[in-house]
Amino acid sequence: MSEPVIDAVDVVKFLGRGAGRLQALKGVNLSLRGGELVLLMGPSGSGKTTLLSILGCLMTPTSGMVRVRGRPVANLDPEALAKIRRDHVGFIFQSYHLFPTLTAEDNVRLALDVRGERSQSKAARDVLGMVGLAHKTKAFPHELSGGEQQRVAIARAIVGKASAILADEPTGALDAQNGQAIMTLLAEFAKDQSRGVLVVTHDPRILPFANRIVHIEDGCIVGEEVVREAKRMSMS
């Protein structure tokens, strides 16, 4: 089986202060391997977004550790963490996190520029075409609907060369047709044996795209189903 692109080892996370302090994650182990699309499902408040943030190195665990491509992320300064995020992780958040003063095309192109590549307008436009927004490349976020903004965020995550895409309810704001199209793109991305996709969802329509479903409740992984084996690289 492919190597993990990101894994969490015995991750514990406390959040909040004083009387509001709570244990959001209670010793979580989770590997995202190359070539697989994993769904993370669980009730509201069970720790899904917290786990995604820790896997994506946006938040550090209270104890335990995250490894990116096998390399422990512990004890890195903010600059080194930012570099790991930039080089390895594409995020799709519940809220879209687009830059309001940039057009759709420039929001997507930014992901390429940040990676030190030359401005690649064509690549940005191509990927916007893939998410059905070829006609909106010059629009600013406030000129787009919620679903359209989400598709720009998805384009931005897949245009780079991230090892992993971590997506928090990526189809929540989309109708059935657009949700289907986006999941097809994410599944395509995950066919690459060096890249994995982890999707937080409540949406049963996403189930057919999964290789594996991980269930989380009250900060603990409580079960896992392998839906179908991730496509393997031929060993010939």
Instruction: Please choose which of Mg ion, ligand ATP, none residue 33 contacts, taking the beta carbon within 5 to 8 angstroms, the exact cut-off set by kind.
Output: none
| Cβ proximity of 192 and 34 under 8 Å | yes
The radius of gyration of the chain's CA atoms, rounded to the nearest angstrom, is 17
Q: Which residues contact 133 (CB under 8 A, 6 or more apart)?
A: 104, 148, 151, 152, 155
Draw the binding track, 21-60, toward Mg ion (x: CB under 5 A; -: no contact): ----------------------------x-----------
Interface residues with ligand ATP (CB under 6 A)?
15-16, 20, 22, 24, 42, 44-50
- Give 49 or 103: the residue with its C-beta nearer to Mg ion: 49
Instruction: Please choose which of Mg ion, ligand ATP, none residue 78 contacts, taking the beta carbon within 5 to 8 angstroms, the exact cut-off set by kind.
Output: none
| Min dist. Cβ of residue 125 to Mg ion (A) | 31
| Min dist. Cβ of residue 24 to ligand ATP (A) | 4
Binding-site size for Mg ion (CB under 5 A) equals: 1
Beta bridge partners of 71: 68
| Cβ proximity of 73 and 5 under 8 Å | no
d(CA 44, CA 233): 36
Residue 150 lies near Mg ion (rule: CB under 5 A): no
Instruction: Determine the residue with CB nearest ligand ATP.
Output: 16
Q: Which residues contact 221 (CB under 8 A, 6 or more apart)?
A: 28, 29, 30, 214, 215
Which residue carries 């509001």 as its tokens? 20
Instruction: Please choose which of ligand ATP, Mg ion, none residue 193 contacts, taking the beta carbon within 5 to 8 angstroms, the exact cut-off set by kind.
Output: none
Site residues for Mg ion per CB under 5 A? 49
